[in-house]
Amino acid sequence: AQSVTQLDSQVPVFEEAPVELRCNYSSSVSVYLFWYVQYPNQGLQLLLKYLSGSTLVKGINGFEAEFNKSQTSFHLRKPSVHISDTAEYFCAVRGGGSGGSNYKLTFGKGTLLTVNP
């Protein structure tokens, strides 16, 4: 079974500063990894995903993430944040097998990013 740990529940930053949201996962098989963003009172929106290939993945809104297999991490980064990036961010993992529980994504508990002026 896989699990996801988001190391920070809250991350406050100032506008135009860089940010990194940390995510570690545990899985006994190859994985697919995702980052979602949730704005207040809305559903989750896919930011980016890692399926295979290049370990640096670029997503929407200027975000990127790096898959590090040896450290079982998939940290999300943005070089310069805006007020509009204030939201909750969720990391998720899907195991690499087929059938049964591999249909499911396992989510971290989320990181609330607050961008201050």
Contact residues for another protein, defined by CB under 8 A: 9, 32, 34, 36, 41-46, 49, 51, 90, 92, 94, 98-99, 102-105, 107-110
CB of 22 to another protein, least distance (A): 15
Min CB(110)–another protein separation in Å: 5
Nearer to another protein, 79 or 104 (CB): 104
Q: Which of 58, 80 has the CB closer to another protein?
A: 58
HEC string for the chain: CCEEEECCCEEEEECCCCEEECEEEECCCCEEEEEEEECCCCCEEEEEEECCCCCEEECHHHCEEEEECCCCEEEEEECCCCHHHCEEEEEEEEECCCCHHHHCCEECCCEEEEEEC
* Cβ closest to another protein, residue 17 vs residue 51: 51
